[in-house]
Chains A and B, each alone.
Chain A
Amino acid sequence: MSDHPHEETGSGRTTSPYAARIRAIEALLLEKGVLTEPEVQDSISYMEARSPANGAKLVARAWVNPEFKELLLSDGKVAASELGMAPEHPAEFIVVDNTPEVHNLIVCTLCSCYPRAILGRPPDWYKSFEYRSRAVREPRTVMREFGFEPPEGAEVVVHDSTADVRYMVLPMRPPDTEDLSEKELAELVTRDSLVGVNVPRSPSRTSPG
């Protein structure tokens, strides 16, 4: 069938039964006129225009601007709009704040709810049965498997996105970043840190955390 560059897998080809099924459904919907090819392309463009870089921008701005941080935590949609993002998705967008006392973790046990209007498509592991089932009952073990040791003395708080809210974590600013620009700060913010399975890169490291 047609090539679909939006569907990335490690091998560069999508051969899973789910992918085959969705291609078949897509073909049927097009054939029966339920969807048009431009609509499919618009939908792909919509998702591809969104990425964790949006979340990183929000976080970096919050790190350098306390007023923006307050807005981001009190009304995530308005804050996102201020930076030119259009979170038109009907769901609520709530940002939760990591502190020395609280480390937040986001999951959707029922399906794969994720702030797509801001961050684009969730990573495959976020949708996996394993992450969805284990993040709620052994969050600390899950974080360790991502290479992150939850801070001693901090409470781990899991947010299960069961309904009409999409969550994002505002991670803590890494130490020794006083001299970095907002743009450089944004480069430290990883997708994993926006879900809470890890923390941002530290400036001394160059590889993704």
Chain B
Amino acid sequence: MTFEPGDRVRVVPSEKPGHVRTPGYVKGKAGWVESLIGAFPSPEDRAYGLSGLPERPLYKVGFRQTDLWKDYRGPAEDCLYADIYEHWLEPERGTT
């Protein structure tokens, strides 16, 4: 699965144990792919002394703050970007 800038995506709500680089507050949340940052050895494997290969695509993913926090008090335009590895993303389906 490869994503393009502008694609709507959802962060996989996985409870994968151990060292992960996807913060809990974005799990299950929908946003958009802002850009492809590059490909890197997976830090989730490197944390355990493995090579992390093959390299995984890393995307800058944008979220509306009001989608992340239902009590967000700032303007609706405020947003947040997190850097998310491809295996944590799926195409957005259904409603938020």
* A residues whose Cβ falls under 8 Å from a Cβ of B: 92, 94, 109-110, 136-140, 155-165
Q: How far is the CA of A125 from the CA of B77 in the complex (A)?
A: 27
| Interface check B37, CB cutoff 8 A | yes
| Interface check B23, CB cutoff 8 A | yes
Q: What distance in Å separates the Cβ of B81 from its nearest Cβ neighbour in chain A? A: 5
Q: How far is the CA of A158 from the CA of B23 in the complex (A)?
A: 14
**A162 and B22 contacting across the interface, CB-CB below 8 Å:** yes
Q: Assess A162 versus B73: contact at CB under 8 Å? Given A92-B38, A139-B78, A157-B81.
A: no
Q: Give the 8 A-B residue pairs with the shortest CB-CB distance, closest first.
A: A163-B83, A158-B80, A160-B82, A155-B77, A164-B40, A156-B78, A163-B21, A109-B23
Q: How far is the CA of A155 from the CA of B65 in the complex (A)?
A: 11
Interface class of chain A by DSSP: mixed
Q: What distance in Å separates the Cβ of B62 from its nearest Cβ neighbour in chain A? A: 9
Q: How far is the CA of A204 from the CA of B74 in the complex (A)?
A: 31
Q: What distance in Å separates the Cβ of B75 from its nearest Cβ neighbour in chain A? A: 7
**A163 and B40 contacting across the interface, CB-CB below 8 Å:** yes
Q: Scan residues 31-66 of chain B and give those whose CB is less than 8 A from a CB of chain A.
A: 37-38, 40, 43, 58, 60, 65
Q: How far is the CA of A140 from the CA of B42 in the complex (A)?
A: 33
Residues of A contacting B77 in the complex (Cβ-Cβ under 8 angstroms): 155
**B83 and A136 contacting across the interface, CB-CB below 8 Å:** no
Residues of A contacting B65 in the complex (Cβ-Cβ under 8 angstroms): 137, 158
Instruction: Choose from B23, B69, B74 the contact partner of A160 (Cβ within 8 Å).
Output: B23
**A164 and B78 contacting across the interface, CB-CB below 8 Å:** no
Q: What distance in Å separates the Cβ of B14 from its nearest Cβ neighbour in chain A? A: 15
**B79 and A164 contacting across the interface, CB-CB below 8 Å:** no
| Interface check B9, CB cutoff 8 A | no
Residues of B contacting A160 in the complex (Cβ-Cβ under 8 angstroms): 23, 80-83
Q: How far is the CA of A140 from the CA of B22 in the complex (A)?
A: 23
Q: How far is the CA of A152 from the CA of B26 in the complex (A)?
A: 27
**B69 and A155 contacting across the interface, CB-CB below 8 Å:** no
Instruction: Choose from B37, B79, B85 the contact partner of A92 (Cβ within 8 Å).
Output: B37
Instruction: Choose from B37, B74, B81 the contact partner of A139 (Cβ within 8 Å).
Output: B74
| Interface check B89, CB cutoff 8 A | no
Q: Assess A156 versus B85: contact at CB under 8 Å? Given A109-B23, A163-B40, A164-B37.
A: no
**B84 and A162 contacting across the interface, CB-CB below 8 Å:** yes
Residues of A contacting B58 in the complex (Cβ-Cβ under 8 angstroms): 163-165
Q: What distance in Å separates the Cβ of A7 from its nearest Cβ neighbour in chain B? A: 26
Residues of A contacting B83 in the complex (Cβ-Cβ under 8 angstroms): 160-165
Q: How far is the CA of A85 from the CA of B25 in the complex (A)?
A: 35
**A110 and B74 contacting across the interface, CB-CB below 8 Å:** no
**B68 and A137 contacting across the interface, CB-CB below 8 Å:** yes
**B78 and A157 contacting across the interface, CB-CB below 8 Å:** yes
